[in-house]
Amino acid sequence: MKNLLWSLKEAIMCGVLLAIGLVSDNALVYILAIVIGGYHQTKEGLIDTFQNKHLNVELLMILSAIGACLIGYYSEGAILIFIFSLSGALEDYTLDQSKREIRAMMALQPTTATRLLSNGSTEVVAVEELKVGDNIIVAMGETFPIDALITEGRSSIEEAAITGESLPKEKSIGETVFGGTLNISHPLTLSVSTDVSDTLIQKIVRMVEEAQQFPSKTARLIDKIEDSYARIILVSVFLMIAIPFFFMNVPFEDAFYKGMILLVVASPCALIASVTPATLAAISNGARNGILVKGGIHFENLVDVKAVSFDKTGTLTYGLPSLTDVFMEDKTHAAAIVAIEKYSSHPLASAIVKGLSKQYNISNTDSVSSVLEKPGFGIEGVYEGRLYRLGNSDFMSHHNEALDAKSVSWASAGKSLVFVECDGVAVALLGLADEVREDARTLVSWLASRKIETIMITGDNEKTAQHIANQIGITRVIASCLPDEKADIVKNLEEEYGSVVMMGDGINDAPALANASVGVAMGSGTDIAIEAADIILVKDDVSNLAYSLDLSYRLRRIVIQNIVFSFAVIILLVAANFMSFVSLPLGVVGHEGSTILVILNSLRLLNTRKLI
């Protein structure tokens, strides 16, 4: 923000002095305008030149202004510096806009916290003073100051600011809350679990900052050729002055004037500004929409992607079982199933309780006794005087054809089966499966419309994997693969398709994410997966991959537009100078005007647009 304010002040003061100079035609006023308007960028240009032995655009601009003044064209020199300072201020504005999301994220985290002391009293301290293991209290309606574990209480937490999930999430003892999220319903006592510099918000901020400092390949290439290009321009300007003066009897003032025009119009200001502002705008746009890109180079790699490979569990599916099918001869058995399953420790039990309670509107299930769980088989209990058994097929004493036929069909679709028996008679069959993400279907459909191949990589068996793939629309399945095989599979896919995205969330996905052309991790994924990935979808919305791809396409289009336009203007103005069709003021306006247009074109990448 400070750089932006200084740039704006310099540009405004330079413009005011230029206006005064044009009215008064006072050379000193013009020189003052040049000094004020060009000081900041001249200083940076000289430091870069002497420290890095690197000629740059800033140096060419100040040489042009000085040269114009030496032959009496003070107003032209002032106009050049004014427009140059204006374009510099506009570039600083682009950078400021790209950092606005960082400031917004930092503002989410409170600056103070209520620490609970060992004697039961409390004290308000700066968040920076908190240490891992400290106990804090967060009242209803307050924002959590730091990542912490709940030690007392249960409450609804609004995590929209971090995850983008609009619905509050119920959390209780042992669960983690994130700094910057909101405590909605009840006060909580928590134990600080993370250093203040390593909270989720701080990690996100660091990722965005690092991304903005990591240029794209195109930006690095342009930066690399800037020094050579500047040397060529200086040599060309010298020849433009020397050859007409020494060999063509052209007056020195005329030859020098044309040389100054060449110095202005051939300087690659617009070309230098073609990539970086656009990349920063794209990174900022992504951050605002829950997409963290670790550098501009990853946008370039995304453009050429021909295939996207997905981990299944937690990426294409939610990673949690849910009740998908119920076959029950008498609905009155539902209450008994819910009552007994509440006592079960099996991973499927909570999904059965949740699913049946919702489907049959069950609330009162107190009439249960003699509950006995048999690990590896199931659970039994007495409900309203009737003995129920719930579990696998081997746990049942009775079968009937209807249930057996359903079980074969559901098993082939990859569902987990729970049989139900009442007083020795088979009465129900429950089917559970890992639920497919709706946004995954949307994404796969969008990718297919753009002729991008989709591949599922999973350790599940072929039938289960194919069933999920058919639901989503994925065209290719690689099933029954071990975790350590995923990286090799991705390498083989890259040989086949050229450029491949890998999406995953688990520890076992990290090697594949690191080896892919572009690795994309879910925001709820493991730390190692997030570390290995190039892009993180903070909001856990897989359809945001489509937005990432679209941003990369937009970025490439705008960069190409900028580069072509920049070169076209340079060629046009240089040719016009050789034919004596352009004056110094016109050359200044044409050159610096093209730089401003390029930056304004780049700012279009800040606009969000709905895709799917």
Residue 358 scores a pLDDT above 80:
yes
CB proximity list for 574: less than 8 A, separation 6 or greater: 262, 265, 266
Q: How do 425-436 and 416-422 pair as beta strands?
A: antiparallel
Structure confidence at residue 270 as a pLDDT band (50, 70, 90): confident
Which residue, 131, 121, 129, 177, is CA-closest to 154? Answer: 177
Q: Nearest-CA neighbor of 156 among 135, 134, 137, 141? A: 141
pLDDT number for residue 400: 85
pLDDT exceeds cutoff 50 at 217? yes
As annotated, the active-site residues are 311
Task: Give percent of the chain above pLDDT 70.
Answer: 91
Instruction: Answer for the pair 514, 321: CB distance below 8 angstroms, yes or no.
Output: no
Question: What residues contact residue 355 under an 8 Å CB cut-off, 6+ apart?
Answer: 322, 323, 326, 432
Name which of 237, 302, 226 is nearest 265 in CA terms: 237
- Where does the pLDDT of residue 527 fall: very low under 50, low under 70, confident under 90, or very high at 90 and above? confident
**Partners of 504 in the β-ladder:** 521
- Mean pLDDT score, 33-45: 84
Query: What is the pLDDT averaged over residues 186-215?
Result: 75
Looking at per-residue confidence, does 52 or 334 come out higher? Answer: 334
Predicted confidence band of residue 568 (pLDDT cuts 50, 70, 90): very high
Could you tell me what percent of the chain has a pLDDT over 90?
30
Better-predicted residue by pLDDT, 50 or 431: 431
pLDDT of residue 207: 60
User: In the structure, what pLDDT confidence band is assigned to residue 2 with cuts at 50, 70 and 90?
Assistant: very low
Instruction: Select from 514, 351, 312, 520 the least CA-distant residue to 430.
Output: 351
Rounded Cα gap, residues 240 and 72, in angstroms? 19
Q: What average pLDDT score do residues 17-41 get?
A: 89
Amino acid identity for residue 63 in this structure: L
Nearest-angstrom CA–CA distance, 181 and 146: 9
The mean pLDDT of the chain is 84
Cα–Cα distance for residue pair 259/236, rounded to 1 Å: 8
Confidence of residue 72 (pLDDT cuts 50, 70, 90): confident
Residue 209 confidence class, pLDDT cut points 50, 70, 90: low
Structure tokens at 465: 């994997």
Longest distance between any two alpha carbons in the chain, whole Å:
118
Following DSSP, what letter does each residue of 231-288 receive, concatenated? Answer: HHHHHHHHHHHHHHHHHS---HHHHHHHHHHHHHHTS-HHHHTTTHHHHHHHHHHHHH
Per-residue pLDDT at 8: 82
Span 308-335, mean pLDDT?
86
Mean pLDDT for 7-12 is: 84
404 residue type, one letter: D
Q: Which of 30-44, 407-421, 544-558 has the highest mean pLDDT?
A: 544-558
* pLDDT of 214: 58
203-224 b/e with 16+ CB inside 10 Å = b?
Answer: bbbebbeebbebbbebbeebee
Cβ neighbours, 10 Å, residue 66: 14
Confidence grade of residue 164 (pLDDT, cut at 50, 70, 90): very low
Alpha-carbon distance of 575 to 84, in angstroms, equals 22
- The residue with greater pLDDT, 88 or 289, is 289
Whether residue 65 has pLDDT greater than 50: yes
Residue 127 has pLDDT above 60, yes or no: yes
Q: Does 544 score more than 80 pLDDT? A: yes
Model pLDDT for residues 448-463, shown as the tens digit of each residue: 999 999 999 987 777 7
Residue 19 has phi, psi (to 5 degrees) of: -65, -45
- The reported pLDDT for the residue numbered 104 is 62
What's the mean pLDDT in 25-38?
90
Asked if the model's pLDDT at residue 160 lies above 70, the reply is no
